[in-house]
Amino acid sequence: MHELPVTESILEIVLRHAKEAGATRVMQIDLTIGDFSSIVDDSVQFYFDILSKETIAKDAQLVFNRVPGKLRCWDCQATFAPNGREYSCPKCGSMRVQVVDGREFRVESIEVE
C-alpha cells in the first residue's frame, strides 16, 4: 500500500521536470530501486497507470532498474550480498552488519517529446 504515495511522488517529479523542459509527452521513466527498499514494481506500475491517465505521462513506459542489496560486517569489514534471508557475515559469522547498497529509490531519467 505504501507504493501509492511513492508513485504519486514519482509522477509529481516527472511532470515538474517535463514541464520545465517544455515537453508535450513523457515517453519513458527510468527508476532505480534497491532490493531493500520494499518497493514492488507491479504495484508502482498499477498506481502509475491510474494516476497518470489525464496527464502527459499517460502510457509512459516505466523501466525498473534493480540494485542488489549489499551488507558490510561491522566486525571484519567484509562486504557481501545476503544469502536469501541470511544476513550474517559469511567470513566471520557476525550478525553486526549494515546496509551499504540496496536502499536506493530514485527517478534516474525521463525521456520526453
For the chain, which residues make up each domain, given as ranges? 3-68+102-112
pLDDT in tens, 17-53: 999 999 999 999 999 999 999 899 999 999 999 999 9
pLDDT at position 1: 59
CATH of domain 3-68+102-112: 3.30.2320.50
Q: H or E stretch including 72?
A: strand 70-73
What end-to-end distance do the CA atoms of the chain give, in Å?
32
Q: CB-based contacts of 72: which residues, under 8 Å, 6+ apart?
A: 78, 79, 80, 97, 98, 100
For the entire predicted model, the pTM comes to 0.85
In eight-state DSSP terms, residue 60 is P
pLDDT at position 12: 98
